[in-house]
């Protein structure tokens, strides 16, 4: 397939990524304007490179005409949260939206991947309207904590460095690092809960004092 044709195919995916980034970022801005806590820390997005699409299709034996149906992460959105608990809130938020339809959910947090990878994935159908017409595209939304993202980013770049042939000792150390990232998330959640409890106690005490 000609590169020019690929560029045309990818236009709706680019638009989907831009629109979804704005939509999720506006949740952050709205919460901050209202002085409320935002379950989303920040959002990023990308359209998969043509070379990576073709490589994935080849690896999975997907014929050219089935690529758009079977590769569901051509458009990719990443939502980064501070705490694991925030991930559930973001998932609920996505489930309640009328402008995207959920095709599939993969919970790699409860079911950690063999590599140590943790993240919550949601594949959605999303309608875009470009100069070329309307199109329903798929987008993969990855939701993860800062700690999960730190680990996944490093592991991903090492996968590329070793061309997916990672030496065993590096794999083992990455598994240890994944466990450390998991413990960091757990400890941060415990600290957060302590703070929330302390804040609630403070509010109860102040209201008792106000009543006196």
Q: Is 44 in the site for ligand 0O2 (CB under 6 A)?
A: no
Query: Exactly one of 32, 103, 113, 173 binds ligand 0O2 (CB under 6 A); which one?
Result: 113
Nearest to 178 by CA among 114, 110, 88: 114
Q: Is 173 in the site for ligand 0O2 (CB under 6 A)?
A: no
Side by side, which strands form the sheet with 42-47? 42-47, 75-81, 133-145, 120-130, 101-107
Site mask for ligand 0O2 (CB under 6 A), range 66-85, x = bound: -------x------------
Compute the least distance from the CB of residue 84 to ligand 0O2, in Å. 18
Q: Is 14 in the site for ligand 0O2 (CB under 6 A)?
A: no
Interface residues for ligand 0O2 in 47-66 (CB under 6 A)? 48, 52, 56
Q: Is 129 in the site for ligand 0O2 (CB under 6 A)?
A: no
Tokens of 126: 């999303």
- If the CB atoms of residues 48 and 109 are measured against ligand 0O2, the closer one turns out to be 48
State the Cα–Cα distance between residues 29 and 7, nearest whole angstrom.
32
Nearest to 75 by CA among 13, 5, 11: 13
State the Cα–Cα distance between residues 81 and 209, nearest whole angstrom.
36
Compute the least distance from the CB of residue 91 to ligand 0O2, in Å. 15
Query: Exactly one of 44, 106, 112, 189 binds ligand 0O2 (CB under 6 A); which one?
Result: 106
Long-range contacts of 180-183 (CB under 8 A, 24+ apart): 181/118, 181/147, 181/148, 181/150, 181/151, 182/118, 182/147
Q: Is 103 in the site for ligand 0O2 (CB under 6 A)?
A: no
- If the CB atoms of residues 31 and 158 are measured against ligand 0O2, the closer one turns out to be 158
Whether 140 is catalytic: yes
State the Cα–Cα distance between residues 160 and 36, nearest whole angstrom.
39
Could you give the residue ranges of the DSSP H alpha helices within the chain?
A: 3-33, 50-60, 67-70, 84-95, 146-161, 168-211
Q: Is 31 in the site for ligand 0O2 (CB under 6 A)?
A: no
> Which residue in the list 140, 155, 186, 194 is annotated as catalytic?
140
Number of residues that bind ligand 0O2 (CB under 6 A): 12
Residues that bind ligand 0O2 (CB under 6 A): 48, 52, 56, 73, 106, 113, 115, 117, 121, 152, 155-156
Catalytically active residues, by annotation:
140
């Amino acid at each position: 397939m000609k590169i020019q044709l690929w560029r045309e195919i990818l236009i709706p995916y680019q638009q989907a990524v831009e629109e979804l980034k704005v939509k999720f970022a506006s949740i952050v801005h709205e919460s901050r304007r209202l002085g409320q806590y935002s379950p989303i820390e920040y959002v990023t997005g990308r359209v998969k490179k043509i070379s990576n699409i073709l490589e994935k299709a080849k690896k999975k034996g997907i014929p050219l005409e089935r690529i758009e149906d079977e590769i569901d992460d051509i458009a990719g959105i990443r939502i980064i949260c501070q705490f694991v608990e925030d991930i559930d809130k973001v998932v609920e938020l996505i489930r309640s939206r009328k402008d995207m339809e959920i095709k599939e959910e993969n919970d790699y947090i409860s079911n950690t991947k063999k590599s140590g990878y943790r993240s919550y994935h949601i594949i959605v159908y999303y309608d875009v309207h470009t100069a070329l017409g309307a199109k329903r595209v798929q987008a993969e939304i990855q939701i993860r904590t800062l700690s999960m993202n730190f680990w996944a980013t490093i592991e991903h770049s090492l996968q590329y460095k070793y061309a997916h042939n990672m030496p065993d000792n590096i794999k083992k150390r990455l598994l240890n690092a994944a466990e450390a990232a998991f413990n960091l998330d757990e400890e941060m959640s415990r600290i957060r809960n302590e703070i929330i409890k302390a804040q609630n106690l403070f509010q109860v005490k102040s209201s008792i004092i106000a009543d006196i």
